[in-house]
Amino acid sequence: MCGIVGYLGTKERVGLLLEGLKELEYRGYDSAGLALLGEGAPLQVFKTSGKISALEHLVQGVRTQGLGVGIAHTRWATHGKPTQENAHPHVYQHSALVHNGIIENYALLKAQLEQKGHLFSSQTDSEVVVHLFEDMLETTPANNVDQALQVFKNTIAQLEGAYAILLISARFPTCIFYAKNHSPLILATGKEGVYFASAQNALVGHAQQMVRLGEGSVGVLDWQHPIDLNRLGVVQPIAQDCQQSSKEGFSTFMEKEIYEQPKVLSLLGRLCGDRVCLELPEGFLEGISCISISACGTSYHAGLVGKYLIESLARVRVQVELASEYRYANPATQEGELFIAISQSGESADTLEALRLAKALGLKTLSLCNTQNSSMAGMADALLLTHAGLERSVASTKAFASQVLVLWLLALQLAQERHALYPNTLQVQMQALQGSLQAMQEGLEWQSQVRTLSAQILERDLKGYFFMGRGVFYPLALEGALKLKEIAYVHAQGYASAEMKHGPIALADSSLLSTTLLPQHLLFAKNLSNVEELRARDSLIFALSPIKLEEATFQIQTRAYDHYMPEFFHMLVILQLFALEMAQLKGLDVDKPRNLAKSVTVE
């Protein structure tokens, strides 16, 4: 959460910082700000609530010259409302600071500083750090950068929690102090200076080489002293193709990414003749006794689909846990257990920590990531990239489809290696895999009908939306509900169809819409009974099924396929389009929904 950019050098800094922030806007976009300092130039701070476009407007005409430093921030609020006061940088008398993460002991530190007479101007946890630094500088005056660094280190030592911090001070106008603990921060170099950022895409076109700062890194960049990246970590080139893409004629990134699904989900390279050949280390899947999957949000839903596929195809027991729960659950492990972390971004704090815990518990680990240079990608014993391409919309679409596909391939490879499937069953699965790509393409054809239905549904002014399915269609129902609430801001809930009668059906009446997934090839009759039960209580039914349903208030009569997995991918696209159309009809910001961020790097 939150995006940070920093620069020390001779380039014009306002444009550079804004450019970097725009690339990081997916990390939070409720307020933004920047601070500038230079040789002979005073500390200047600009900040505002709203998106980066508002900051851009605020700094119109502001330009820097000569050597100096700049730090910038785009915020996703944790402590305090998204106001101008709570926007970063936070400033005290001569210093300014940007922070990503959460300072857990801020209340205690703040109370101690207030007793000493410090007056705070925000409700944030972050502001305490700049006060603490200046307070310590008062008691331990620093006459040079080395001494100031020691004071900064003492400041950081007081903090508990997660942080990526950049601090500049008018007393040391060509220095940036930095600290990193469990929040991402990279340090990079280019011809005309040194750069910091939360992610490398902020630095494309400026920096050439970077290191991911290690946990507990604290230091200072000083223009007087050349930097040696090799001393700080593994030096990597900045991937020059990782910047945000354009909408390419689509109205939103979400729509573009939904349409990209059939293209990006190519199986090429992972099918060798009639066998699956994932790029895993030799013997990696041998001796696996059970699997634990951990993830958040949409990636968690993909993990649930993976459980059904792996258990039914490879006959290996799988448990799926929300990463935020796994990390504090004191999990019991088993000999031969494989731990799989799933994450589009590879940066979700909860999933990262779950993976760390699994490693510490001695489990064999595998990351399923969409982002090659992410923190998670390099952490596990093995990596499977989902190859969905950069996903820019906050609501995840193509990443989910690619995660399910890779989990399906993993289930098949496991099944192959354990001889769990007859050759003809494997053949049927291969055909279903190929058919699923086509089914997604065909799912796109429903967009205009989905729009018409969405308009009719919105006219009803409903109080709630249920999504129901069985087997792999249960996590698909969860995902359909999550998409709708994320971007259309309505109360939507996913259920396993048969659970309805154990409680939720109490809500059924004519102001409830139950979107029901009734594939032809998985428990059709059972699902139909659950639809009848809801209809008997006046709930409106939105059915997705290839079979015509008299009971449905609304129906998309989906295409018929000869396996339930193509049906799954076909319905996935329709559910994504449903959320998209509902949000667009309500005139909402589809790509940047309120209160959310693309990459959730706090607990």
From the candidates 51, 398, 483, 598, which is the catalytic residue? 598
* Residue 242 annotated as catalytic: no
What is the distance between the alpha carbons of residues 257 and 242, in angstroms, rounded to a whole number? 16
User: Under a CB-based contact definition with an 8 Å cutoff, are residues 153 and 144 in contact?
Assistant: no
Q: Which is nearer to ligand M6R, 49 or 371 (CB)?
A: 371
Task: Specify whether the CB–CB gap between 475 and 582 falls below 8 A.
Answer: no
Between 133 and 300, whose beta carbon lies closer to ligand M6R? 300
At residue 153, what is the residue type? Answer: K
Residue 351 beta carbon to ligand M6R: minimum distance, rounded to whole angstroms? 5
**Residue that is written with structure tokens 């009719």 in the block:** 456
Instruction: Please say which residue, 35 or 406, places its beta carbon nearer to ligand M6R.
Output: 406
Q: Between residues 153 and 359, which has the closer beta carbon with respect to ligand M6R? A: 359
CB of 325 to ligand M6R, least distance (A): 14
The residues of the shown chain that bind ligand M6R, judged by CB under 6 A, are: 296-299, 343-345, 348, 351, 394-396, 482, 486, 600
In whole angstroms, how close is the CB of 396 to ligand M6R at the nearest point?
Answer: 4
Q: How far apart are CA 338 and CA 336, in angstroms?
A: 7
- Residue 100 or 527: the one with the smaller Cβ distance to ligand M6R is 100
Closest by CA position to 483, among listed 553, 575, 560, 585: 575
DSSP per residue over 232-297, as a string? TS--EE--TT-S----TT-SSHHHHHHHHHHHHT--TTTEETTEE-----TTTTTT--EEEEEE-H
Residue corresponding to tokens 């154990």? 502
How far, in Å, CA of 297 to CA of 598, rounded?
11
Q: Which is nearer to ligand M6R, 22 or 392 (CB)?
A: 392
CA–CA distances in Å: residue 61 to residues 20, 51, 55, 58: 18, 19, 12, 9
Q: Which residues contact 29 (CB under 8 A, 6 or more apart)?
A: 51, 52, 74, 75, 76, 592, 597
Q: Whose Cβ is closer to ligand M6R: residue 169's or residue 348's?
A: 348
Q: Taking the alpha carbons of 523, 529, 531, 533 in that order, is the dihedral positive or negative?
A: negative
Q: Which residue is nearest to ligand M6R (CB)?
A: 297
Cβ 404 to ligand M6R shortest distance, Å: 13
Q: Are 159 and 148 in contact (CB under 8 A)?
A: no
Catalytic residue among 2, 175, 296, 369: 2
Min dist. Cβ of residue 494 to ligand M6R (A)? 13
Q: Reduced to 3 states, what is the DSSP secondary structure of residue 122?
A: coil
Q: Which of 61, 3, 10 has its CA nearest to residue 38?
A: 10
Query: Is the CB of 49 or the CB of 601 nearer to ligand M6R?
Result: 601
Query: Burial level of 184, CB count in 10 A (0-12/13-18/19+)?
Result: buried
Among 100, 106, 38, residue whose Cα is nearest residue 69? 38
Give catalytic status of residue 592 as yes or no. no
Neighbouring residues of 182: CB distance < 8 A, sequence distance ≥ 6:
101, 162, 163, 215, 349, 352, 353
CA distance 377 to 369: 6
Can you list the alpha helix ranges (DSSP code H) found in 462-523?
473-488
**Catalytic residue positions, numbered:** 2, 598
